[in-house]
Structure 1
């Protein structure tokens, strides 16, 4: 992941009113993320790195009142990037978010995988940056928005097909992908050549995650090389390269996690494609959560699971669970799975929508269980329940009389 890659995801070309407290906090967060990317990019020339840090510092200072801005020097800025960000961010204007404790670098000194998603989810308006960043006109295409617009134009049958394909065919040889996507191939131009993605390559090979099939990240730590799925590492999808000299084929990986089943390296060539990261993050990962829910619930007594109701707009909900136990009130769960890195940005995005005309259940990944209370408080009064995948499974099982 390079510093220049952040230029495509950090700036929204839009004119807005002068930033409020929330926007200033987003502005500071984005400046810190971009500075961290510049600090960690080995391909960035020292002079360009220094210029980028000066630009980011100027944007960070602009997010603070003048008296505080004058106190933030380059030394404090660079030190602050290596620890919790609370010392660099302006105060939150509403319910406390998690960003004061957020750390952009991991224990090995590498920028965390999720920093890209934080930048994408907390985009800074163009008007807030144009006086400081010369690259404010950089293209910042919102691929997930474009995906939703395309999905809205599909017929119900095509929509269900597209969602199923997002769950199964995220990367691989171009011929196989074209065959799988068939008549939808020309309408979904969200694939890129894996040869252009150095972050997932190991000696010219890439490795698909056994759960989402997207390229796993390769991380060098001194004498060891780790390979992990950014989304599923917490579930145990991580590996390590076996020691020894390189051979003719792909390097062999050994499992270091409980869900790290055997994977085969594939050539990182122009003939191997993968969905762009935003579509993977905001299209593939929620789809996999919904498929997991379906598989957990569809064989339960008195439970009916309907996937991707085609008559609805695709951004309303994608799973309808009905529990009809004889002699009891029928229970309905309209479920929308979300895989955002930032529940703060997710809450802001949901608040910008019209409140749903029915009770809606937002499902987060299990690893965000500790953040569901924040999101629930943010959405209070909008007929939205916030839970996690495992919690919803337990709730439905209890509703239909299954204890475990």
Structure 2
């Protein structure tokens, strides 16, 4: 891994873990020790005179932008605030800090791993491998169908999800748990129109998807209707929380959120005349492959990456080179292109709409 990213990953992960622990300190006695433990991790990183020396000092810093106290943070990371005024994790923590999640206690027992959500203790690759280990032994088609199912059905009525999996010939891939109380109101819950995972409901009546680029922000009315904010997708219908379940946050953030873009791009390309698109070919050797109809050779191969920080994405790809010919970023990350091309010279990088237009031209040329 890139040295600068390695250096930042530990304190950023420690800050997120401490922030989460602080947010649940009233419900979980283990939280106090976790904050103290993560204070120690950050002290070792920042060194004497530059680090918080008590848990209370660390908590105070978590309410400030990371750039104020964490040197070396790029502009995106530097603006991240972990805790809001109500001592809850901010939405940006789900979008930005996940780019840096790593193990902070490697080589020793991690007490936090027993109760912290996995996205705060595991890397994306670890979560992904655990989720799909049952699919790896099957065929390529089984893998593609199973992974797509999980992305498209991260929540719903338990009986309905089980019936859908049975109809597809799938065994249960991951555990679904009852929808948490903070994601329901008066026995109702609302799925994000983009990723279909239960949106969070604040005490002030705001209903939001915690992944900010989905722009799913609503206001809850007294009649249990939700009204969209400017620019939000149309409001989804309320669903009964009775018997409703969802995947945990780690699966949502590391599998569902990026999978939404992967599937969207695949489906757009597969509708082009004269070509066929494959989703997760070779059991995820890359995300999408496109062939000319009736031929075996790939016309184009694509790997979709959705990172809030271009620097973190560049470091990731440098550390783990992609197998695809093109690195694709979501359309809502189009402003990253210039920086990514500077950081990754020689790599073919495009937005999802750019690669759609390019592939459309290629398909016509090949006919």
Give TM-score scaled by structure 2 length: 0.78
Instruction: Give, in angstroms, the shift of residue 155 of structure 1.
Output: 0.7
Instruction: Give, in angstroms, the shift of residue 60 of structure 1.
Output: 0.9
- Aligned positions of 1:3-402 closer than 5 A: 22-41=5-24, 43-44=26-27, 52-69=34-51, 77-91=58-72, 96=74, 98-105=76-83, 110-116=88-94, 118=97, 121-127=100-106, 135=112, 142-182=126-166, 187-195=171-179, 197-221=180-204, 225-231=205-211, 234-243=213-222, 251-269=224-242, 271-300=243-272, 304-308=275-279, 310=281, 312-314=282-284, 316-322=285-291, 332-340=299-307, 344-353=311-320, 356=323, 360-380=325-345, 384-397=347-360
Show CA shifts across 1:265-300 (max 9, x none). 22323x222223333333333332233224434444
Q: Does the CA contact (< 8 Å) of 1:228 and 1:239 recur in 2?
A: yes
Q: Does the CA contact (< 8 Å) of 2:36 and 2:54 recur in 1?
A: no
Higher alpha-carbon deviation: 200-209 or 387-396: 387-396
> When you count helix as a share of all residues, which structure comes out higher?
2
Larger Rg: 1
Change in CA separation of 1:369 and 1:294 when aligned onto 2, cut-off 3 Å: same
2: distance between equivalents of 1:120 and 1:235?
A: 17
Give TM-score scaled by structure 1 length: 0.71
Unaligned runs of 5+ in 2: none
Aligned length in residues: 353
Instruction: Give, in angstroms, the shift of residue 137 of structure 1.
Output: 6.7
**Partner SS state of residue 176, structure 2:** strand
Please, what is the CA RMSD of the aligned residues? Answer: 3.9
Q: Does the CA contact (< 8 Å) of 2:63 and 2:85 recur in 1?
A: no
2: distance between equivalents of 1:177 and 1:110?
A: 31
2: distance between equivalents of 1:399 and 1:108?
A: 52
2: distance between equivalents of 1:372 and 1:392?
A: 13
Unaligned runs of 5+ in 1: 1-19, 245-250, 325-329
**Partner SS state of residue 254, structure 2:** helix
Q: Does the CA contact (< 8 Å) of 2:13 and 2:100 recur in 1?
A: no
Higher alpha-carbon deviation: 23-32 or 101-110: 101-110
